[in-house]
Amino acid sequence: MSTKVSLMRSVKAVAWSFLGIRKNSDFQEDIDKITPLHVLGVGLLAVFLFVFSLIVLVNLVVAK
């Protein structure tokens, strides 16, 4: 169960970092509860999805 909680917490932390805003108290709590491996995995997946969505968007715009 703690892995699932840590993974969801990592997803939230990465999502907030993409926006560039995060409270310091939440950041400190994340440091205690999430693993760097989860952050790395979620971060790489988020970057891949972001780049893929940009490629799809550009292809849709150029096709018109």
Q: Which residues contact 16 (CB under 8 A, 6 or more apart)?
A: 22, 26
Q: What confidence tens digit (pLDDT) does each residue in 2-32 have?
A: 666 778 888 888 888 888 887 888 778 888 8
Residue 52 CA to residue 46 CA, distance in Å, equals: 10
pTM (2 d.p.): 0.74
Query: What whole-number percentage of the chain has pLDDT above 70?
Result: 94
For 7, other C-beta atoms within 10 Å of its C-beta total 15
